[in-house]
A = this chain, B = another copy of it.
Amino acid sequence: MKIAVLGHGTVGSGVCEILWNKKSEVSSAAGNPLELGYVLDIKEPEGVPYSEKFKKDFSAVLSDPEVGIVAECIGGLEPAYSYIKAALENGKSAVTSNKELVAEKGAELLSIARAHNVNFLFEASVGGGIPLIRPLYSAMNAAGITEIAGILNGTTNYILTKMFRFGEDYSSALSGAQKLGYAERDPSADVLGWDSCRKISILSSLVWGKTLKPSEIPTEGIDMITAEDVKTAEQCGFSIKLLARAKILENGKIFAKVSPALVGSDSPLAAVNDVFNAVLVKAETTGEVLFYGKGAGKMPTASSVIADIIECAKTEGSIKSVFWEDGAQTAAEKDSVSERYFIRTDSDVSALLPDAEKLFDFVYITSPLSASEISVLEEKINEHGKLLSKIPLFE
């Protein structure tokens, strides 16, 4: 069976290297001979041993009946979406590392895959090289998952780790990350939480079987976190992490959010530092399970794409448990969950916080508050002084 790799960027070139250099290992794991059939890229191949596989025209890939699996590593919605859709409609399985595509178009592509009895898999779209998607749809399939909380973005975790360890402020830690190549020149997608938002959208949709779109998930980044927040939190026994969280409520709706959160030092998430990612899954039968590893990088991510290729090659027909439906009203009302908040103010607001725990002067942990309640509190505090930070506790 031939594999077509779409896009020869960082991840795509890693996938090609593994298919080329470890052909026999991959074939033996798949139980079928697999080979690199095509590499689709508008660029000319440079210094690679598989240069004769390059094509610029997708129709050559599509019309070759020996191509059984398409590995999309282009990124972005188009032309990735059109290529994958066409591949599935032509009876070819597709695998991708493209979180934007899976978050936005997952339900539709999974439904097309099912109609054509092939697979659409996306292990590499969340958590880079961490085996995560497959355990969720296979081993933990009937475990009764109730909640997911993840550190899903390595860039922001690196920045927060530097702020925690060295007392750096946000902008200095960000520049450091940019110098090392851990943050992009335009870091918005990472630091504003959009990347984490797409990833928790995928996990939530997969686990509970109903699309939860990124646009339905309240998302806040780390750009407002100060060195003072990190230091004060640490003095109280907490780390600050950018958490992407989702849980299913009794009414079947999903409450999800992306925001900085205070994590107690006894939580396994507190020990997740630098560019590492981790996902904590709570389930009725298994209790807490954590998956940890490098959430990005060429070879970890390419390795997950390869694992999906092997899974497609081994599997006859569509895997039933990889599926979610497009459905309206999956998201819970924004006030349906209350959380305690760590707040810092510039003056004594104890009178406004009769139920709060005072940690230091001007530093409090509130009683559980809904999204509306914390907004009302913020307004009240700002009438008397200034609310400097409000960060929910992860409990």
Contacts and interface: CB of A to CB of B under 8 A. Distances in A.
A307 B136 CA distance: 11
Interface in A281-330: 283-294, 297, 299-300, 302-304, 306-307, 310-311, 314, 316, 319-321
A353 interface: no
Given A135-B131, A271-B268, A142 B26 contact: yes
B142 A134 contact: no
A139 interface: yes
A286 B303 contact: yes
B141 A134 contact: no
A327 to B, nearest CB: 17
A15 B310 CA distance: 30
A100 interface: no
B285 A302 contact: yes
Contact of A283 (B143, B268, B303): B303
Given A285-B303, A286-B129, A320-B31, A142 B291 contact: no
A138 interface: yes
A169 B380 CA distance: 53
Most buried by B among A134, A268, A286, A311: A286
A143 B294 CA distance: 14
Given A140-B131, A314-B320, A316-B316, A293 B288 contact: yes
Contacts of A304: 139, 286
Contact of A286 (B31, B144, B299): B299
A80 interface: no
A22 interface: yes
A123 interface: yes
B294 A288 contact: yes
A223 interface: no
Contacts of A321: 29
Nearest to A306: B142
Contacts of A28: 320
Nearest to A27: B142
B271 A287 contact: no
Contact of A285 (B29, B129, B141): B129
Interface string A116-138: 00000001000011110011001
Contacts of A316: 316
A141 B289 contact: no
Most buried by B among A18, A307, A311: A307
Given A18-B285, A292-B290, A294-B286, A307 B129 contact: no
A270 interface: yes
A25 interface: yes
A288 to B, nearest CB: 6
Contacts of A290: 278, 290-293
Given A142-B26, A268-B292, A129 B287 contact: yes
27 contacts: A18-B142, A26-B142, A29-B142, A29-B320, A128-B286, A129-B283, A129-B287, A129-B289, A131-B139, A134-B139, A139-B307, A140-B303, A141-B307, A142-B307, A143-B303, A270-B271, A284-B299, A285-B303, A286-B293, A286-B294, A286-B300, A286-B303, A289-B293, A290-B290, A291-B291, A291-B292, A292-B292
